Amino acid sequence: MEVHTASSVARMTISTEMYGILLMIASGFCVTSDMVTSRIIKESGWPYWYLISGTCCIAAVTNAIFLYFCGSNWPKATETRIAD
């Protein structure tokens, strides 16, 4: 049985698949938050477009902060179909 120390855990990196999983979890959280916020704003009598713009801005800022701090691994142009 392998014992993980603080230094070995700090060296672990997140794989591309794990980034995808984390983004899906974040997306689910944002959609759920969007629905809860929408219900609260609807019950307070705000107009529909204020509701949608407010909740979408919150979701967009949350995703932007996540991508800013975690980064993103984009493929090289030669690895895409566009380069063909």
Q: What angle do CA 36, 57, 46 make, to 5 degrees?
A: 55
Q: Look up residue 51 and give its two tokens.
A: 């509701």
- In this prediction, residue 75 carries a pLDDT of 73
Contacts of 37 (CB under 8 A, 6+ apart): 51, 54, 55, 58
* Closest alpha carbon to 70 in 5, 15, 32: 15
- In this prediction, residue 83 carries a pLDDT of 52
- In this prediction, residue 11 carries a pLDDT of 61
Question: Hey, where are the domains in the chain?
Answer: 15-83
Q: Quick check: 66 and 26 in contact, CB under 8 A?
A: yes
Q: Look up residue 47 and give its two tokens.
A: 């107009």
In this predicted model, what pLDDT tens digit does every residue of 38-56 receive, in sequence order? 788 778 887 778 777 877 8
* pTM score, whole prediction: 0.43
